[in-house]
Structure formats: C-alpha cells, structure tokens
Structure 1
Amino acid sequence: MAPSDPTPHGPRSPIDLAYPFTGRWLVQNSPADRVPSHGTRRFATSFAIDFVPVDDGGRSGAITGRTLVRPEPAHAFVGFGRAVSAPVTGTVVAMHDGEDDHDAFRGLPSLWYALTQPRRVAAGWSALAGNHVMISPAPGVVVAVCHLRRGSVAAARGARVIAGEQVGECGNSGNSTEPHVHVQAMDGTDPSSATALPITFGGRLPAGGAVVTGASG
C-alpha cells in the first residue's frame, strides 16, 4: 500500500471500507500505484480510487468504430445503472442529485474532454463529483461515493445507512469519461479544505488494472 500523506496531525491509519458494489469492476487511478492517485491533491483526492464496471471479459463497453471518433451514450456501457452500495456504515452527511449523465469519451474524444477539464475544476466540487453521497462512519471521517446516475441517489441527508445498503446507481455524472464510481475519504464535508485520508478495502488496496469483485458478486 502507498504511504499516507503527512498531515499536521501526522499520518492517519487507513479507513477500511467494503467494496461499494457487486459484480466485476476494474480498478483505475489507485493510490496503491501513486499518491496523489489522480495526479492532484486538490479536493482531498490524494487517496481516491476509481472502479469501472466490466463484463466477464473485462470490458466496460463494446469497441466500435464510433469509439475512436465520437462520444458514446452512457447507457451503452455494461455497468451503467449497476447498483452502488454504502462502503461503510454511518450517517449520510451530504448528498447531491440532479446532474445529467453525459456522453462517454474514449479514443480521440477523450483528448477533447481532457482539454475541457480546467473548466470543471474551476466550477468546483459538484462539477467534478457529479451526483454523490457522503457518509460519516465516525467524527472526523467522511467517505464520498461519486458519479452516480441521475435520479438514483437513494440516501437522504441525516439517514443512517449500513455497509452494503444501496445508495445509488453507477452513472456518468460529473468529471467522468465513462460510467464508473469514485471513492475517497477525508476529514470533513468540504473537499476544498478537508484533508485526504488513506483507505483500504478489507485491509488491502488493489492496484490499477486489477479486476475486483464485490462480496455478493
């Protein structure tokens, strides 16, 4: 596992989570490979990790001629709408729904999408996270699950959720090139000022390129 960031209070022990899904998911942008995992420490994302739903062959969506030259509808991907569950037991301290699930961008369209990322960063957390849920399992710990499908967020602020309980569906809202789920932990609800916290899943941290399976998958 990658070492934790030094903080004003010293390194923190990892927050251990359950995979927030069932079925097969491809790991991307893992802090097991580098910190910061997404190439930036902004918005408390140093230890964030991405999971892309895939089929039995490890593919998130069919590769066609359109893939290389045009955006693709999000619903064409195998995991769009797949159930997403709470990775930890706790209280919902924030949630957001209503952001559109935009087209997916692979091949050449992904280069254009990368060029427009500064605009989303300037727009702030919600423009990056899209539809999301934040769960606090303990004081000073907040776990965010992001890029959920519009209209799928099933957890109300103040509600208590149990690890494994469905809180939404995999979508393509926010800063997302194809349907996936982004998970991060931090010490507050405001990502612009919070400190990132390291995470593990069942005591381990999968590396990028690994395919992991949820407990009931």
Structure 2
Amino acid sequence: MDNLQLLSLFVTALVWFVIGLFSSWLIYRAITVFILKRPRVSWRQVERHRYIKCLKIATAAAFAILLLTLPFHLWIGASYRRLMPWYVMPILLSVLMVWTALELYLSFSMSARLQRSTFKKVMLTITVALLVPASSYYLVTLPQIFTYPAGQECMMLDLPVKGEWSAGHAGGSKKVNYHCALRAQKYAMDITKVNVEGAFYKGEGGKVEDFYTTNQPIYAPASGTVVRVTDSFENSTVMSEEKVKTNPAGNHVVIEIAKDRYVFLAHLNRGSIVVKEGDHIKSGDLVGKAGNSGNTSWPHLHMHIQDIPVIDNRNAIAYPYRFATIERKRWFGWAKVVGGFLLRNDVFRAIGK
C-alpha cells in the first residue's frame, strides 16, 4: 500500500468519523426534542437570564451563517475532497446541514436545565466562543472563493486538454489555489484527468501509470510561438519527497501568445514533446503528453501565464486567463460557460469532447 492510498484512507476515515459524530449528536437532539419532548421555552418569554439570551442570539447568528456558507467552503474550498470516494462529501455536507438547521431552530428556545444548571451555561459559553469566530471566518472568507479578475482583464484561452478533468488548485485566491502565494503563479491551475466517478487514479495509485492523467495529450491553449522547451527529466515517483530544485516545472513548454505573455505547460512526460523552440503553432495543436516530471506529488498538468519566458518566482508577474467556451460542473450538473474560469474541485471538459 503506497503513501497516496494511505493518505486517502486516512482522510476518508477521518471524515467518516466526523459524519458518525455529528449523526449521533443529531439523532440524540432529535429524540430529546421531538420524541421525548423535553420542555423548552422561547428565550423571548424568559424575563431573567439576559446573559443566556445574549448567548442564544449569538448562537442563532452563528448557525445561520454556517448554514449559508458551509456548502461553499466544503464543496468548493476543501482540498481533501478529491482524495475521498465521490459520495463521502455529499453525505458529510448533508449531515452537517441538517445538524446546523436543527441547532439553528433550537437556538430560539432554551431548556429548563439550561436555566438552572451552571454547567450548561458554561458549555453554552464555550460553544459560542468556538462558533462565533468560526462562522465569522467562513463569512468573511466566502467572497475569496469566487474572487477572480473580470473578463476584460483576462487572456482568453482554449482548454489544453480533452475529456473530463478536475481542478485540484485553481482560482484567484489562496482559499482555492495555493499558487496565489506566489506572484509569478497567482492564477496557475493544476488539473488531473478523472473517470466517470471523479477518481483521478486507479488501483493503489503507487505508480505513475496508475493515474488517468499520465500520457494524456496536451494541446496549445492559444496560438503563438514556442520559445522554450525542456524535455530531459524522468518522471518523479508518486508522492516523492525529493524536490527538483534545478527545474521544478520538469519537462515543460513555454508559448509566447502575446507581447510579454507566456503560457507555461509543465510536468510533461519525457520524450513526448512534439514541438521545438521557434515553432509557430495554433491553438489546439498537440504539444506533448502529461507526466509527473519536476516537483509534483502525482501526475497532473500545471498551466499559468506570466510576463517572462523563464521560471522566476521572485520577479515574474502572473496574469489571469479564462476559457472561451467550456462545459463545467461546479455543483451537480453540467453547464456551458462562455469566458469561464476554474475553481478548486471544478470538473470540466471542452464542448463536445
């Protein structure tokens, strides 16, 4: 069993534990409220206990915020989602949403035990102390998930791949794209080929050949001139801890698509690149095949646009881009998008491909 499968099993087991924990609490709360019908009174009807009223108001506000923001942070923002079977996240999200809705409903009333028990008051205080910062963070950072430059500020590209792919890291903020920490790669995307169930590898995922991305054709996303080709690096092993400091992009192609605008297509398979420096190519022309060369945990295609044709994370400046026409599945159904951009966990494909 390799490290990737161990990581996948660990993440999945942890999420199932969370599902079980919240499901148990949800069942307990539902039984006590709706079956045993323990007495509760609206906090508006309680003349005393102003402190508890304030806590209840804060609790209601926090749960209302969570109810609105959880789907976005978990479905789009969660980087671990792709490591689990496709059905685990919908189950987790469903349980958390029902639990949050129930707790929101209960926030408008209080039990007799809460009014007379010091322990209950302390526990409610701790709950509020945890919920308010967490919900506030989710609310404040929600717009960051969808932050991206307007269409007129972006280069318009075609997809460099065919078939169904998933975005591991993509978007305009660190909430959905760790590349945004680097000025030179701010709008970079890492994408992997997926099967009909959304999985990006088969078997144990211990070999480069286990990944659907490996040897997938990579096409020019725009017309231009090839200004740089590197094609001498072997594929790295899956989940390798060794870093290729001399050339983190591994085998890659750089295409000048406009003045001071260079597209990088990185982590290609050695020997698969079919273009050479100086070639004038058109959008859709074959460039090479995807691999696992350079600094990479597993096979994927890395693409970004910057203002110089060499890797220079200190001085290069990245530029945003969108895709002319794609089919994108961000939630549960496919939609045709004109001038669209990608976010983490988006599944996408070229129109008719």
Fold match by TM threshold 0.5? yes
1:170 is matched with which residue?
290
> Larger RCO: Structure 1 or Structure 2 (Cα < 8 Å, ≥ 6 residues apart)?
1
Distance in 2, matches of 1:132 and 1:43, equals 20
1:9 is matched with which residue?
none
1:88 is matched with which residue?
222
1:175 Cα deviation after fit: 1.3
* Alignment check: 8 A CA contact 2:226 2:280 kept: yes
* Alignment check: 8 A CA contact 1:134 1:143 kept: yes
* Higher-helix-fraction structure: 2
* Alignment check: 8 A CA contact 1:48 1:182 kept: yes
- Cα distance, 1:3–1:206 mapped onto 2, change above 3 Å: closer
* Alignment check: 8 A CA contact 1:33 1:208 kept: no
Distance in 1, matches of 2:148 and 2:162, equals 28
SS at match of 2:177: coil
1:181 Cα deviation after fit: 0.3
Aligned with residue 197 of structure 1, among 307, 313, 319: 319
1:216 Cα deviation after fit: 5.2
Q: Deviations over 1:92-138 (max 9, x none)?
A: 01110011112212xxxxxx73xx5xx54xx24x2x11110011111
- Cα distance, 1:47–1:40 mapped onto 2, change above 3 Å: closer
Distance in 2, matches of 1:60 and 1:104, equals 13
Distance in 1, matches of 2:256 and 2:303, equals 13
Unaligned runs of 5+ in 2: 1-145, 325-338
Distance in 1, matches of 2:196 and 2:181, equals 34
1:109 is matched with which residue?
none
- Cα distance, 1:33–1:216 mapped onto 2, change above 3 Å: farther
- Cα distance, 1:195–1:169 mapped onto 2, change above 3 Å: same
SS at match of 1:129: coil
Query: Mapping of 1:1-217 within 5 angstroms?
Result: 2-4=147-149, 13-34=153-174, 37-39=177-179, 41-42=181-182, 44-64=184-204, 72-105=206-239, 113=241, 116=242, 119-120=243-244, 123-124=245-246, 126=247, 128-192=248-312, 193-202=315-324, 203-215=339-351, 217=353
Distance in 1, matches of 2:180 and 2:174, equals 11
Please, what TM-score do these two structures have when normalized by structure 1? 0.80
Distance in 2, matches of 1:137 and 1:143, equals 7
- Cα distance, 1:179–1:140 mapped onto 2, change above 3 Å: same
1:180 Cα deviation after fit: 0.7
* One-letter amino acid of the counterpart of residue 91, structure 1: T
* Alignment check: 8 A CA contact 1:38 1:48 kept: no
* Alignment check: 8 A CA contact 2:172 2:186 kept: no
- Cα distance, 1:80–1:59 mapped onto 2, change above 3 Å: same
Unaligned runs of 5+ in 1: 5-11, 106-111
Runs of 4+ in structure 1 off by over 3 angstroms are 32-36, 39-43
1:60 Cα deviation after fit: 1.1
- Output the aligned Cα RMSD: 2.1
SS at match of 1:88: coil
* One-letter amino acid of the counterpart of residue 53, structure 1: K
* One-letter amino acid of the counterpart of residue 147, structure 1: H
* Higher-strand-fraction structure: 1
Q: Percent identity?
A: 26
Distance in 2, matches of 1:157 and 1:104, equals 30
1:40 Cα deviation after fit: 5.3
1:200 Cα deviation after fit: 1.2
* Alignment check: 8 A CA contact 1:85 1:166 kept: yes
* Alignment check: 8 A CA contact 2:167 2:191 kept: yes
Distance in 1, matches of 2:276 and 2:261, equals 18
Distance in 2, matches of 1:196 and 1:62, equals 34
1:149 Cα deviation after fit: 0.7
Higher Cα radius of gyration: 2
1:176 Cα deviation after fit: 1.2
SS at match of 1:26: strand
Distance in 2, matches of 1:216 and 1:97, equals 31
